[in-house]
Amino acid sequence: MNDYLDVNRANWDERAPAHAASADYNFDAFAADPQHISDGVTFDRPLLGDITGLRAVHLQCHIGTDTVSLARLGATMTGLDFSAVSLTEARRLATLAKADIEFVESDLYSAPDVLENAAFDLVFTGIGAIGWLPDIRRWAKVVATLLRPGGRLFIREGHPVLWSLQDGRDDDVLALDFDYFEHKDPLVWDEGGTYVATDHEFVHTVTHSWNHGMGEIVTALLEAGMTITGLVEHDTVPWLALPGKMTKVANGEWQVTDRPRRLPHSYTLQAVRNAV
């Protein structure tokens, strides 16, 4: 099963420099404007609330734009990712942004081995993270292990219905084609590009991913000793998930052009760790 880590790590290692160089991640804005924060965290702020003084960890932080943004909102941040190349870019961004952030290299499931347990006020996970994990129950246990009693999980993610949709159609039909529920075997993709504009020709093109149904995610957190405090489904998502079918709206978000209310595009889930 650990083969998926090697396959996915090679993919992310190769893409991290292209992402860091892209206008989408906009390292230059972080360097030039001490108030600049990512579009993703801008979207999150109304539900995230005041995080000033919180000790927080950003799991699967990639190149750190959301991590730096959370630090700029007043949290003491740690970022964790399994890609050494991504973390090199994240540390470079933190230096450019004059942000004091600790970045730790580890796969998600090993996070309790390298981070202090029961020590964080906030665990943050952003868009496009948990789909790289084969077991959502193990993820929930990691989250609960890292949080202090009363500490909070905040996750915004692409909706599992969206992940299930067939892409590449030339009509307005939204057709369920891929697994909605978690399955032992991964979805194996072989795609030469990435989600930012780049001229780089990638060598590592294969990835392994999994979907997780909403019920599976909620149940995993409950079983890990957490209480759900919020679940909001959104009619936008911060990337062009269905090319040819979406319109760009405010704050870097995308929405299905034809009758967008028929599709949950993304969700924000919050939960707190129960007292022992």
161-202 per-position pLDDT tens digit: 999 999 888 888 999 999 999 999 999 988 765 665 666 667
The four Cα atoms 153, 154, 159, 160 give a dihedral, to 10 degrees, of -20
**Mean pLDDT of the 45-64 span:** 98
CA distance 241 to 233: 16
Beta 120-125 vs 147-158: how paired, if at all?
Answer: parallel
Confidence category of residue 1, pLDDT binned at 50, 70, 90: very low
Residues 136/179, Cβ–Cβ less than 8 Å: no
Residues 31/211, Cβ–Cβ less than 8 Å: no
Residues 189/175, Cβ–Cβ less than 8 Å: no
**What's the whole-model pTM score?**
0.95
Confidence category of residue 62, pLDDT binned at 50, 70, 90: very high
pLDDT for residue 167:
85
What is the per-residue DSSP string for 180-197?
Answer: SS--SSPEEEE-S--SS-
pLDDT in tens, 12-46: 899 898 888 888 889 999 999 999 999 999 999 99
Q: Average per-residue pLDDT in the chain?
A: 94
What residues contact 203, with CB distance under 8 A and at least 6 apart?
A: 14
**Mean pLDDT of the 119-125 span:** 98
Task: Name the residue among 118, 143, 121, 166 with its Cα closest to residue 60.
Answer: 143
pLDDT for residue 274:
97
Residue with tokens 């804005």: 29
Which tokens go with 2?
A: 């650990």
Percent of the chain with pLDDT over 70: 95
